[in-house]
Structure 1
Amino acid sequence: MPMSTLNLLPHPAPLSYSSSSSFSKGFVPCSNIHVFIPKGTLQRKGSLKPTLVVKSAASGSFVADPIASITGGPISDSISSLKFKLLSAVSGLNRGLAANEDDLRKADAAAKELEAAAGVIDLSTDLDILQGRWKLIYSSAFSSRTIGGSRPGPSTGRLLPITLGQVFQRIDILNKDFDNIVELQLGTPWPLPPIEATATLAHKFELIGSSKIKIVFDKTTVKATGNLSQLPQLEVPRLPDGLRPQSNKGNSQFEVTYADSDTRVTRGDRGELRVFVVA
């Protein structure tokens, strides 16, 4: 499975992400991430800005668009370099599944530097910064080898035949929809081929304070993909609240600690650090 690589080169173009995903044989190709930072000092609105261009491993295309911080103010070389440092720290870790203790410390330290430099996030005036489809590129919780992170969850190892593919968040700020979308490959007895599916965990969300998001679970649906894509979508029955573990009531909170037009960093109530890019 190809891993992400980052290269620092001079270039005057603006900043953005473009990504495409596929799911084949339980693995998804990663993107080659190139960061271009132009010569000069402070980059102000309307002038040359740092460029982060993602080359899709699937299509081979490059896309670059302007970036603005959540405050809409100038983006300094410091913020750009700290953002690059964080992306460098999490690249090649298979979204955190391959992270060891040293990797976790480096990623957390890089995120704290970026968060401190960017300042406090105020989503009450810029909630639309959350709008869209986001791809998870790192979660510290995945280092536990379970999808549930520090809370119990399905194993991603050999005990259960589950291979984790790409993970997305789809946020609709008008309807307050917050969907976690997970691509999975489920093992089957030989000689049957593995089953590829997409699970969507639908939630509603609300803003608490200036930067904290509360999500409330609604339902889970599963749609087969690949050779079984013609099968109808299924809704997974939900256990009554009285029968569900206390730690798994379907509600959770997380804080958005950094956000701009193509990158988002969050810290959850399970203690996990997550990094997303626009999908």
Structure 2
Amino acid sequence: MSMASLNLLPHPAPLSYSSSTSFPKGFVPCCNNIHVFIPKGTLLRKASLKPTLVVKSSASGAFVADPLSTITGGPISDSISSLKFNLLSAVSGLNRGLAANKDDLRKADAAAKELEAAAGLIDLTADLDKLQGRWKLIYSSGFSSRTLGGSRPGPPTGRLLPITLGQVFQRIDILNKDFDNIVELQLGAPWPLPPLEATATLAHKFELIGSSRIKIVFDKTTVKTTGILSQLPELEVPRLPDGLRPRSNTGNGEFEITYADSDTRVTRGDRGELRVFVVA
């Protein structure tokens, strides 16, 4: 349904109608005094008119929440749409968590818990398709520690190292069980050389444990330069021997899917890390 089909003129008074009412003039009352165009003679049920929240990722990296993009009788209730919007609003402007303070962390966690409680337990055993695709990370509570490893050890951000974190994605292929974390980085260089831009891909395999828990097993890390050096070949980073690698940073991990729909996913990691993703 295009935005051109929305008549935004308020109705002077509430209307009442039965569960199967014909609207020959082509308009039916919806929510918040918004009228939706319906072809003449269409029979509608009152319960099918539900505003849902559709989240899109803008070019700037911020999410765009459009609560009236779709009018449908889908599984997302009005209350869940509202709680979902509250969570996305709570994490907006926090630079994926890098700019979050303790109060921001508390507000984001509280908003996530309200959404999780309203949506109920997630069962992916019959609906693993919800994970398929490319997802953009818009918030991680672990990034408030100012390290690129989140809740795990990782290189610090800021002035200690000339590393600027770009966008972070997850690419999930449910058929091949591929689970890739993709990180865009900008590395500083001595003047007058331009910064080096690169994309690091941390490849994993995944399996579903129970109904909603995901286990990932590290495979390899590859780095591909972008920008002016994009012609350079992709480089696979050698993996440290098990004896030299810290036990706390094996690359493997587990996390729980606590909320998932067609455009938003919320996870809680094995170290308590809250992450929010939107479809890319």
Question: What is the alpha-carbon distance in structure 1 between the residues aligned to residue 46 and residue 99 of structure 2?
Answer: 38
Q: Distance in 1 between matches of 2:199 and 2:223?
A: 6
Which letter does structure 1 place at the counterpart of 2:161?
A: L
| Counterpart position of 1:47 | 49
The 3-state SS of whatever aligns with 1:243 is coil
Cα distance change, pair 55–270 in 1 and its aligned pair in 2 (3 A): closer
Measured at CA, do residues 210 and 187 of structure 1 come closer, stay the same or move farther in structure 2, by a change above 3 Å? same
| CA separation of 1:67 and 1:177: change in aligned 2, threshold 3 A | farther
1:67–1:260 Cα contact (<8 Å) kept: no
Q: Which residue of 2 aligns with 1:28?
A: none
How far apart, CA to CA, are the structure 2 residues paired with 1:150 and 1:264? 19
Q: Residues of 1 paired with 2:46 and 2:219: CA distance?
A: 43
Deviations 1:232-277 (A, max 9, x none): 0000000111211010112100000000000000000121100000
| Alpha-carbon distance in structure 1 between the residues aligned to 2:65 and 2:105 | 30
Query: Is residue 197 from structure 1 mapped to residue 190 from structure 2 by the alignment?
Result: no
Name 1:274's counterpart in structure 2. 275
CA drift at 1:38: 4.0
Question: 1:90 aligns to what?
Answer: 91
The residue aligned with 1:107 is: 108
Is the 1:45–1:73 Cα contact (8 Å) retained in structure 2? no
Contact 1:203 1:215 in 2 (8 A): yes
Q: State, as a whole percentage, how many aligned pairs show the same letter.
A: 81
Alignment of 1:19-168 (within 5 A): 38-39=31-32, 46-52=48-54, 54=56, 56-57=58-59, 74-168=75-169
CA distance in 2, matches of 1:178, 1:98: 27
1:249 corresponds to: 250
Aligned residue in 2 for 1:261: 262
Alpha-carbon spacing, 1:55–1:222, altered in 2? closer, same or farther (3 Å):
closer
Q: Secondary structure at the match of 1:143?
A: helix
- Which amino acid is the alignment partner of residue 227 of structure 1? I
CA contact (8 A) 1:45 1:74 kept: no
- Cα distance in 2 between the residues matched to 1:108 and 1:92: 15
Q: Deviations over 1:3-32 (max 9, x none)?
A: xxxxxxxx79xxxxxxxxxxxxxxxxxxxx
Structure 2 spans left out of the alignment, 5+ residues: 1-5, 8-29, 34-44
In our comparison, the structure showing a higher alpha carbon Rg is 2
Distance of 1:242 and 1:210 partners within structure 2: 34
Q: Cα deviations across residues 146-198 of structure 1 (Å, max 9, x unaligned)?
A: 01123210111111111000000000000000000000000111111100000
- Taking only aligned residues, the RMSD between alpha carbons, in angstroms, comes to 2.6
Which is strand-richer, 1 or 2? 2
Contact 2:151 2:271 (C-alpha < 8 Å) held by counterparts: yes
TM-score (norm 1): 0.79
Question: Are 1:121 and 1:258, in contact at CA under 8 Å, matched by a contact in 2?
Answer: yes
Do the aligned residues in 2 keep the contact of 1:131 with 1:171 (CA within 8 Å)?
yes
Please tell me the residue identity of whatever aligns with 1:169.
Q
**TM-score with structure 2 length normalisation?**
0.79
Give structure 1 stretches of 5+ with no counterpart: 1-10, 13-36
In 2, the alpha carbon distance for the partners of 1:170 and 1:178 equals: 6
Q: Show the counterpart of 1:171.
A: 172
Q: How many angstroms apart in 1 are the aligned matches of 2:256 and 2:53?
A: 27
Which structure has more relative contact order (CA 8 Å, sep 6+)? It is 1
